[in-house]
Amino acid sequence: MTSQEKSEGSQQPAATDKQLESYSYTNWADKIQQQYQKIKENAETYPYVWGSYIVVYGGFGLWFAYRWRKLRKTENRVRVLQDRLRKLVDAEASTSSSSAATSKAPPSSDISTK
């Protein structure tokens, strides 16, 4: 009896390996096809429920797309303004440094004599 149990126990993993090997792409395709048929039948049975899902989630999708696009436009405007400000500050810094270098007076002229 124990030898038969051992032989059955050793045959069982081999059988499961064969089942795993036979579990192929066609089984996945069949499951997807079955799930599609269930959804299709449900949609034909309850069209108003599915219509409301489309309206609600479609509305959320449209709102999300609108807000996303508005955010991107705002970010682009901010980048342009930051670039303009950076250029303006650089131009002001270069003009102030060059004007400060030319208008420097000798320190002796600032001292008044008594």
pLDDT in tens, 43-54: 999 999 999 999
Q: What percent of the chain has pLDDT over 90?
A: 54
User: What predicted TM-score, i.e. pTM, was given to this entire model?
Assistant: 0.48
- Does the pLDDT at position 81 exceed 80? yes
Phi-psi region of 48 (alpha: psi -120 to 50; beta: other; left: phi over 0): alpha
**Mean pLDDT computed over 83-106:** 81
Mean pLDDT over the full length of the chain: 80
Which backbone phi and psi does 113 adopt, to 5 degrees?
-95, 145
